[in-house]
């Protein structure tokens, strides 16, 4: 088991620490890292990174035509939101069922993270590239980490209305794999699932925005090879259920096309979780127009 060959302060861990520190210390006028994030020398690796991100599923609300349904925020604006947490997207779904009678066929859809990252302007440093779309991590974690991540991104010249925190630890990696989690709690849970003592779980994991990790993956081959984003077993399970329903619906439509299209697999390999490897956890088409349903507040 690769995880049982834990390496303390490997080259990848050191690179990520230095990368985050450099981003925080950089001048706002420095555009080097921004250019690499948007393209430049790292563009050759974009497809590879995109595919690795796609191993992780995220979720959104879809209409009966499989178009994303916009979420009306407290300030009245409407955004298309992809959620990392099944409980949060299901809470929104239940609320929208009660308040969005005008939208037929509401259901929860699954999208590979790489697709959502691109749709939300993750490859572009300009805020206009992702206006009206965002990826939502665990609500409590994002609220706690937002100010630090905003500063981290601004130091790289990136203005963004959304941040997606990731957590990793030098004590929780091997010579082949370095997992990243959406919260420090999920990292600790992955540690325990891997058979390690709960009391020895990392207490101060490194935190960064997903765009910081993507930038590091573009610049360093070892980071690109080892980094893997791991979500919760519940997320992999929900993704599997959505795809099973999608396939059952397709099978029931004589001569029909595959319901909801496909955005690639979103299940990934086992990385820190006994259940974190649902196969063929693909995606319904989540690239359509916002439906802008009223009354669905993103609390």
| Residue 264 falls inside a structural domain | no
CA 129 to chain centre: 17
Confidence (pTM):
0.73
Band (pLDDT 50/70/90 cuts) for residue 128 is low
* Phi and psi at residue 120, to the nearest 5°: -95, 15
Give CA–CA dist 201/190, Å, rounded.
9
Specify whether the CB–CB gap between 223 and 20 falls below 8 A. no
Give a yes or no: residue 156 inside a domain. Answer: yes
What percent of the chain stands above pLDDT 90? 52
**pLDDT single digits (tens) 229-256:** 999 999 999 999 999 998 988 887 756 5
Angle among Cα 169, 174, 176 to the nearest 5 degrees reads 120
Kindly state whether residue 32 falls inside one of the protein's structural domains.
yes
| Residue that is written with structure tokens 């100010």 in the block | 147
Say if 262 falls within a structural domain: no
Which pLDDT score is estimated for 52?
A: 96
**pLDDT tens digits, one per residue of 248-287:** 888 877 565 443 444 445 554 444 444 433 333 333 433 3
Q: Name the more confident of 282 and 55.
A: 55
| Nearest Cα residue to 109 out of 247, 243, 284, 259 | 284
Amino acid 14: pLDDT = 34
> Which range has the worst mean pLDDT, 104-113, 216-225, 244-253, 286-295?
286-295
| Average pLDDT score over the chain | 76
Residue 215 lies in a domain: yes
Sequence-separated contacts (24+) of 93-100 with Cβ below 8 Å: 93/61, 95/296, 95/297, 96/61, 96/69, 96/293, 96/295, 96/296, 99/293, 99/294, 99/295, 99/296, 100/69, 100/293, 100/294, 100/295, 100/296
Strand ranges in 113-232 using DSSP code E only, listed in sequence order = 133-136, 165-168, 178-181, 206-209, 227-230
pLDDT, tens digit, 9 for 90 and up, residues 17-52: 333 333 333 322 223 333 334 444 456 789 999 999
**Is the per-residue pLDDT at 117 higher than 90?**
yes
- Which pLDDT band holds residue 84 (cuts at 50, 70, 90)? very high
Residue 290 counted as domain residue: no
In this structure, what CATH number is given to the domain that contains residue 20? Answer: 3.40.1350.100
Residue range of the domain that includes 156? 2-251
**How far is it, in rounded angstroms, from Cα 8 to Cα 173?**
8
Domain membership flag for residue 277: no
The pair of structure tokens assigned to 68 is 């994303």
The domain tally of the chain equals 1
Q: Is residue 267 part of a domain?
A: no
């Amino acid at each position: 088991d690769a995880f049982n060959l834990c390496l303390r302060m490997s080259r990848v861990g050191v690179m990520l620490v230095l990368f985050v520190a450099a981003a925080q210390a950089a001048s706002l006028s420095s555009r080097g890292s921004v250019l690499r994030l948007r393209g430049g020398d790292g563009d050759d690796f974009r497809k590879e990174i995109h595919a690795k991100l796609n191993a992780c599923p995220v979720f959104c609300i879809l209409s009966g035509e499989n178009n994303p349904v916009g979420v009306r925020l407290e300030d009245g604006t409407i955004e298309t939101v992809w959620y990392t947490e099944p409980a949060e997207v299901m809470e929104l779904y239940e609320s929208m069922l009660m308040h969005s009678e005008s939208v037929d066929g509401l259901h929860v859809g699954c999208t590979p993270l790489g697709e959502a990252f691109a749709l939300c302007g993750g490859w572009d440093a300009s805020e206009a590239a992702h206006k009206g779309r965002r990826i939502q991590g665990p609500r409590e974690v994002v609220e706690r980490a937002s100010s630090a991540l905003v500063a981290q991104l601004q130091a790289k010249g990136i203005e963004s209305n959304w941040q997606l925190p990731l957590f990793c630890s030098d004590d929780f990696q091997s010579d082949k794999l370095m997992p990243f989690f959406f919260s420090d709690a999920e990292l600790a849970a992955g540690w325990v699932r891997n058979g390690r003592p709960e009391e020895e779980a990392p207490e101060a994991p490194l935190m960064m925005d997903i765009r910081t990790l993507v930038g590091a993956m573009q610049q360093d081959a070892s980071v690109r090879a080892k980094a893997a984003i791991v979500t919760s077993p519940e997320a992999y399970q929900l993704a599997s259920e959505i795809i099973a329903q999608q396939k059952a619906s397709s099978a029931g439509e004589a001569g029909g096309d595959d319901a909801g299209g496909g955005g690639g697999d979103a299940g990934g390999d086992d990385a820190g979780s006994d259940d974190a490897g649902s196969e063929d956890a693909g995606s319904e088409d989540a690239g359509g127009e916002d439906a802008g349903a009223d009354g669905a507040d993103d609390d």
